[in-house]
Amino acid sequence: MRNKTYNRRKILIVFSFAVVMLLVLIGRLTYLMIFKADYYQERAEELHERERSIKAARGEIVDANGVVLATNQTVCTISVVHSQLKNSEQVIQMLSQELGLDIQTVRKKVEKVSSRELIKSNVEKSVGDRIREYELAGVKVDEDYKRYYPYDDLASRVLGFTGSDNQGIIGLEVKYDEYLKGQNGTILTTTDARGIDLEGIAEERMEPVAGRTLQVSIDYNIQSYAQQAAEKVREEKKADQVAMILMNPQNGEIMAMVNVPEFNLNEPFSLEAMGLEKAPADEEERQKLLNQMWRNTCINDTYEPGSTFKTFTAAACFEAGLLEASDTFYCPGYRVVEDRRIRCHKAGGHGSESFVEGIQNSCNPVFMELGARLGVERFYQYFKKFGVMEKTGVDLPGEAGTIIHKQENVGPVELATMSFGQSFQITPLQLATMVSTIVNGGERVTPHLGVRILDGDGNIIKNFSYDSKQVMSEKTSQQMQEYLESVVSEGTGKNAYIDGYEIGGKTATSQTLPRSAHKYISSFVGFAPAEEPKVLALVAIYNPQGIYYGGTVAAPVIRTVFENILPYLGIEKAGE
């Protein structure tokens, strides 16, 4: 009996112990299954497969003749796989030396227990190749692409630049991102628990697809001439900035778009172009300055065009049948409109003059009279008809719209000032596009840069087409060509005259707002040849010091540019 009792006690103890053990195990299992499931799930996947992305090569941007304006450079990304390291000390020494990094920084990264630790990206290919040659276990050298602009600051705000993920940030890089970016690929490798690639198991590889090439109408040579000329006048006149546009007025192709000072596309976050050696510490302030530096004044900013806009008032009057070239006017130096006396730029007045003399003299009272003949309703009607109310539709992001009074708020005084280009604002590109219509036979064209998309072998994938519309009679356009040619040969635009060429154009001297600041914008719009023009150029010089008249400051800039590019474009001198 005693023995039996003893055995039962022994069984009970063993049984109780087993029950307790079982409960502990169940508890632990429950904990692992319910509370740590995600953790182990992740670990399990990490143990077996590792997916890495292979960056696609971004498409190039080439100019009208195939000159490469944006391309890629091969760079390397250096990283360390901790589980594969054999001689950490040697790796630390080598990486610190080759990459020029502080030894403590490298040590911290190499000794960190992680599946893959990035040491440095954007490393030059030659350095990457050298690191690979050490053949040190655990050191990984991956090839990568970095956007590269061979001409640094050429057409910086037009081309734009890309961010770290290869995406466009401003300019054409944003607008044509879908064609340029391509498609990233992936590598899927299977590894054991230590992260070492398992042999005999094929890695799955999805090849990246390279982006397409974008061909634009920018011409490297014309852009370079224009940029040099703009930089020269900016320095001479100590101006804040100079904007210049050269386009084909017949089809809207933009050959050059300049905003000096330009910035270096390979260093888009350096504020050097803003005259700052060091970026401000305040992040918000820094971003504000960068945004300002990246602005494309030709399309993102509006200004009062001033007298270049008189071309509109004259063309609208011809269209409406309210003006004959033989009409005569009288300028006493001002015109009284309601209770105001609005002055001509010539204080003593131009006296008696024909319409042709009026446009040659850029006489304000003549154009106020033309505005009055049109009246508010017709003025707005032609403003809309010629396309000036709408954006131009240029293929660049952030185009600014026209700023103009509501028609019902316009009285005789506003109408008078609008007739000579004040009291409303448009972009420089809008002005260039409007004058294109006036001198190209009357067609409103869409200014643009993108011409076609090519594959890597230069085969055409897609040609872009742009809208155009006849909005003015050919007769009015031909008359305007003739009168604007006389402005250059005999009037205020004579500083743009080149012996032997027939060039048309119009000067302007406008003010930035508020007028009390006495800051001026000198501008000139010119085209050649005067009959069936092949090129139209607009220059605007912001806040020039000293003499600021458009005829004196801006017209000679376009003469210099034309002297260089007219022979290049195959435009011959008259009579040759």
Query: How far from the centroid of its chain's Cα atoms is residue 531's Cα?
Result: 32
Active site (annotated) includes residue 307: yes
519 vs 510: CA distance, rounded Å: 9
Q: Which stretch binds Zn ion (CB under 5 A): 48-56, 288-296, 329-337, 551-559?
A: 329-337
**For residues 195 and 551, which CB has a smaller minimum distance to Zn ion in the complex?**
551
**For residues 348 and 570, which CB has a smaller minimum distance to Zn ion in the complex?**
348
Q: Which stretch binds Zn ion (CB under 5 A): 210-218, 290-298, 330-338, 406-414?
A: 330-338
Which residue reads 């630390």 in tokens? 92
51 vs 70: CA distance, rounded Å: 30
Measured from the Cβ of residue 133, the count of other Cβ atoms closer than 10 Å reads 9
**For residues 223 and 308, which CB has a smaller minimum distance to Zn ion in the complex?**
308
**For residues 86 and 341, which CB has a smaller minimum distance to Zn ion in the complex?**
341
State the nearest-atom distance from the C-beta of 342 to Zn ion, in Å.
Answer: 11
The number of residues that bind Zn ion (CB under 5 A) is: 4
**For residues 332 and 456, which CB has a smaller minimum distance to Zn ion in the complex?**
332
**For residues 433 and 492, which CB has a smaller minimum distance to Zn ion in the complex?**
492
Tokens found for residue 542: 């912001």
Per-residue x/- mask for Zn ion, residues 61 to 80, rule CB under 5 A?
--------------------
493 vs 538: CA distance, rounded Å: 13
Residues 137-176 that bind Zn ion (CB under 5 A): none
The residues pairing with 247 across neighbouring beta strands, listed in sequence order, are 254, 536
Tokens found for residue 310: 């008189």
State the nearest-atom distance from the C-beta of 333 to Zn ion, in Å.
Answer: 7
Any contact of residue 310 with Zn ion (CB under 5 A)?
no
Considering only CA atoms, give the Rg of the chain.
35
Longest dimension (CA), the chain: 146
Any contact of residue 541 with Zn ion (CB under 5 A)?
no
State the nearest-atom distance from the C-beta of 499 to Zn ion, in Å.
Answer: 29
561 vs 540: CA distance, rounded Å: 14
451 vs 215: CA distance, rounded Å: 6
State the nearest-atom distance from the C-beta of 509 to Zn ion, in Å.
Answer: 14
State the nearest-atom distance from the C-beta of 494 to Zn ion, in Å.
Answer: 17
Measured from the Cβ of residue 31, the count of other Cβ atoms closer than 10 Å reads 10
Q: Is 208 exposed, middle or buried (0-12, 13-18, 19+ CB in 10 A)?
A: middle
State the nearest-atom distance from the C-beta of 314 to Zn ion, in Å.
Answer: 15
Residue 258, H or E segment? strand 254-260
State the nearest-atom distance from the C-beta of 491 to Zn ion, in Å.
Answer: 12
Residue 61, H or E segment? strand 61-62
State the nearest-atom distance from the C-beta of 512 to Zn ion, in Å.
Answer: 24
Pairing of strands 254-260, 468-470: unpaired
**For residues 363 and 388, which CB has a smaller minimum distance to Zn ion in the complex?**
363
Any contact of residue 331 with Zn ion (CB under 5 A)?
yes
- Which of 398, 394, 448, 450 is closest to 212 using CA atoms? 450
**For residues 331 and 488, which CB has a smaller minimum distance to Zn ion in the complex?**
331
Name the catalytic one among 96, 156, 307, 522.
307
- Which of 553, 469, 473, 477 is closest to 509 using CA atoms? 553
Per-residue x/- mask for Zn ion, residues 337 to 376, rule CB under 5 A?
-------x-----x------------x-------------
Which residue reads 């024909």 in tokens? 354
306 vs 419: CA distance, rounded Å: 9
Three-state secondary structure string covering 393-460: CCCCCCCCCCEECCHHHCCHHHHHHHHCCCCEEECHHHHHHHHHHHHCCCEEECCECEEEEECCCCCE
List residues near Zn ion by CB under 5 A.
331, 344, 350, 363
Catalytic residues: 307
